[in-house]
């Protein structure tokens, strides 16, 4: 049986922020782009010329931390803890991806 050790925001703010891995970022962006392609609501303001670029929209939503997503990280002994993405730092790769997708 798994035990949930959910991190609360005050505990995370007292210690250094956790880093979101590039693999977690790519999973979030990919799943969110898929949702957007199936007519999900856009949570950020975007320029009209990029309104059909779902990868850009998903990346922008992640950068602005508009998504309500918890990352579940495993611990030993079949335990895990959840961290909200607002309490995590983003890797530099996500900003590079945003620049690459921001084309006319």
**What are 9's two structure tokens?**
């925001």
Is 55 or 103 the better-scoring residue by pLDDT? 55
Interval 4-46: pLDDT, tens: 555 544 444 446 789 999 999 999 999 999 999 999 999 999 9
Domain-by-domain residue ranges, the chain? Answer: 3-101
Cα of 56 vs its chain's centroid, Å: 13
Interval 49-66: pLDDT, tens: 999 999 999 999 999 999
| Fold annotation for 3-101 | Eukaryotic RPB6 RNA polymerase subunit (3.90.940)
β-bridge pairing 70-75 and 79-84? antiparallel
**C-alpha to C-alpha distance for 9 and 84, rounded to whole angstroms:** 8
Which pLDDT value is given to residue 10? 42
């Amino acid at each position: 049986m798994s035990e949930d050790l959910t991190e609360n925001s005050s505990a995370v703010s007292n210690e250094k922020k956790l880093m979101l891995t590039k693999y977690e970022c790519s999973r979030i962006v990919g799943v969110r782009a898929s949702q957007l392609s199936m007519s999900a609501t856009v949570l950020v303001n975007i320029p009209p010329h990029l309104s059909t670029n779902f990868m850009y929209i998903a990346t922008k939503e992640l950068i602005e931390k508009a998504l309500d997503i918890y990352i579940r990280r495993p611990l030993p002994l079949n335990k895990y803890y959840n961290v909200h993405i607002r309490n995590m730092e983003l890797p530099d790769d996500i900003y590079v991806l945003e620049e690459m997708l921001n084309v006319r």
